Structure 1
Amino acid sequence: MLLFWDARLVFLATPKTGTHALESALGDVADIAFRHPPTVKHMGYAWSNRVMPRIVGQKEWTGFRTVAVMREPLSWLGSWYRYRRRNDLQGQSNSTRDMNFSRFLRGYLADPQPPYARLGRQWKFLRTEDGRVGIDYLFPYERFEELVAFLENRLDRKITLERQNVSPEAPLEVDPELAAPLAAQLEKDFRLYDALISGGDWKNI
């Protein structure tokens, strides 16, 4: 999470949406930058609304606006799957190195989820306590250049990104019988993303 005081802007780092590159590019100019631990670095909207007023002051916090990124839900899961195939996780319970993508997805759909598929949802990251979309400015990962242009304008600076945290390549083939349960489990994620990418009323999903 990055907070820019003069711009009255807070960037919330949705996991697996290219946020590490932005943190590297803007971390030194942010007035507040949470980098560790990951749970704090990736503080969601509802949590930020509980924590940040105590840090910056309730009156000041009401003047800030939030910005975040959302990735197509299946692509987001694919990014997690590839990320957990990396060498340093081999042999650990959260490694996906010795499985295909469909097995990973079956784990994600399971209750309880096994360690290798124990993930949240983008929808939960972006929502308010009472289940509404809370983010003020939301950009699709697949049009990252729009986010960069927005931040350059709001922060009045040129942003140069370097590719970081590149995950190992792996096929992302999905068994057909998983389509329906994934659509049901991620129904709000898909609806929000579809509205976002099509220019619909994503704020009222």
Structure 2
Amino acid sequence: MLVFLKHRLVVFSTPKCGSTALEQALAPASDIVLQGDPRIKHCTFHRYKWRFEKFLQIFDQTPMTTAALIRHPQDWLGSWYRYRHGSWLDGTPQSTKGLSFDEFVEGYLAETQPAFAAVGSQARFLTHPKTGETVDHLYCYDAFDGFQAFLEDRLGQSFALDRVNTSTELQLTLSPSLARRLEAAYAADFALYETAYAPKPKSRMRALFQSLAS
């Protein structure tokens, strides 16, 4: 999470949405950077509203604007699958080595998720469980040009992204029956994605960013 007190802006680090690249590009201009331990770096919207927002109000009562990226749920799971296919997880319960993408999604849909498929939910990350409130500015991962323009306008500066924290390159397909089950089981994730700022025709910058958190 990145906090810009002067600009009254909080940018959430949605997992598998290029948060490391954003952190490296914008941390020097941030007043507060939550990083390191994933529980801290990937502070959820609920935890922000519960505690962190109140902490920021100690210094300034002016409301903060919140922003985040969200990825298409199937693409998001594909990114997790590729990440956990990396050699750094070989031999651990989190590794997806030896598993097909269908098997990974089957695990994700299981009542008790195996360790390799316990990756959470974007809707739970970005939505308050009691009020249903979410961030003020939500952008599709594929619409990064719009997200970057929003950030640059808000912060009054331009920034460039480096390719960091990339995952294993794998071509993934999901069986139609599993895709339907995923959409039914995680309807909230798909619905939230549909509310986000929609992607424009792909540009060179967006194509670059699409590879940053793959």
Q: Does the TM-score normalized on the shorter chain lie above 0.5?
A: yes
| Post-superposition offset of 1:58 | 5.4
Supply the AA of the counterpart residue of 1:117: A
Residue in 2 aligned with 1:139?
A: 139
Find the aligned partners of 2:64 and 2:197 in 1 and give their Cα distance: 25
1:163 alignment counterpart: 163
Number of the residue aligned with 2:98: 98
Matches within 5 A, 1:1-205: 1-57=1-57, 60=60, 63-196=63-196, 198=198
| Distance in 2 between residues matched to 1:67 and 1:24, nearest whole Å | 17
Amino acid at match of 2:149: A
Match of 1:203 in 2: none
Work out the percentage of aligned pairs sharing the same amino acid.
38
Q: Give per-residue Cα distances to partners, 1:5-46, cap 9 Å, x unaligned.
A: 110000011100111101000112100001021011101111
Are residues 109 and 29 of structure 1, via their aligned partners in 2, closer, same or farther at CA, if it must alter by over 3 Å? same
In the alignment, residue 99 of structure 1 is paired with which amino acid? L
CA distance in 2, matches of 1:164, 1:110: 32
CA distance in 2, matches of 1:153, 1:165: 26
* Deviation at residue 48 of structure 1 after TM alignment: 0.4
**How many Å separate the matches in 1 of 2:14 and 2:113?**
20
Secondary structure at the aligned position of 1:68 is classed as strand
What is the alpha-carbon distance in structure 2 between the residues aligned to residue 62 and residue 160 of structure 1? 29
> Are the aligned partners of 2:138 and 2:197 in contact in 1 as well (CA < 8 Å)?
no
Native 8 Å contact 2:140 2:198 kept in 1: no
Deviates further, 69-78 or 172-181: 172-181
The count of aligned residue pairs is 199
Matched to 2:129, the amino acid is: E
Query: Do the aligned partners of 1:52 and 1:61 also contact (CA within 8 Å) in 2?
Result: no
CA contact (8 A) 1:34 1:41 kept: yes
Q: Which secondary structure does the structure 1 equivalent of 2:10 belong to?
A: strand
TM-score of the aligned structures, taking structure 2 as reference length = 0.88
Which one-letter code corresponds to 1:118 in the other structure?
Answer: A
CA spacing shift, 1:51–1:36, aligned 2, 3 Å: farther
Structure 1 runs of 4+ aligned residues shifted over 6 Å read: none
Q: Kindly state the Cα deviation for residue 176 of structure 1 after the two structures are TM-superposed.
A: 2.5
Counterpart of 1:33, as a letter, is: V
Cα distance change, pair 30–117 in 1 and its aligned pair in 2 (3 A): same
Provide structure 2 residue ranges, at least 5 long, that are not aligned to the other structure: 200-214
Cα RMSD over matched residues?
1.7
Match of 2:29, SS state, is coil
Q: Is the 8 A contact 2:139 2:198 kept in 1?
A: no
* SS of equivalent to 2:168: coil
TM-score (norm: length of structure 1): 0.91
